Amino acid sequence: MTLQFNEFQRTVIYAVSLGGDTDTIASMAGAIAGAWYGIDCIPAEWSDACEATNTAKQLADKLYEIVYAENHDGKL
């Protein structure tokens, strides 16, 4: 049986496999991969297991609004 992982999952799994300070390395890799691949690539089971997921999503939405508005003459 072969397990199938998407790009986001492979990134985080690879970061953990490097050893060392795996929680820090994987969280940084996950943050970058999540920004690159988008929230839809993050498995619900993974985000549900994280602390403060809703707060992180709210902050990401606010950041997006700021950046979008800045690049579109203040219009959302």
1 and 31 fall within a common domain: yes
5 and 37 fall within a common domain: yes
32 and 3 fall within a common domain: yes
pLDDT digits (tens, 9 = 90+) for 39-66: 999 999 999 998 999 999 999 899 888 8
pLDDT of residue 44: 94
25 and 61 fall within a common domain: no
pLDDT of residue 2: 82
Q: Which one is predicted more confidently, 49 or 70? A: 49
pLDDT of residue 70: 76
28 and 6 fall within a common domain: yes
Overall number of domains in the chain: 2
pLDDT above 90 for 11? yes
Range of the domain at 18: 1-42
Residues 6 or more apart in contact with residue 66 via CB below 8 angstroms: none
63 and 30 fall within a common domain: no
Residue 55 CA, distance from chain mean position: 13
25 and 58 fall within a common domain: no
Q: What is the pTM of this model?
A: 0.76
3 and 32 fall within a common domain: yes
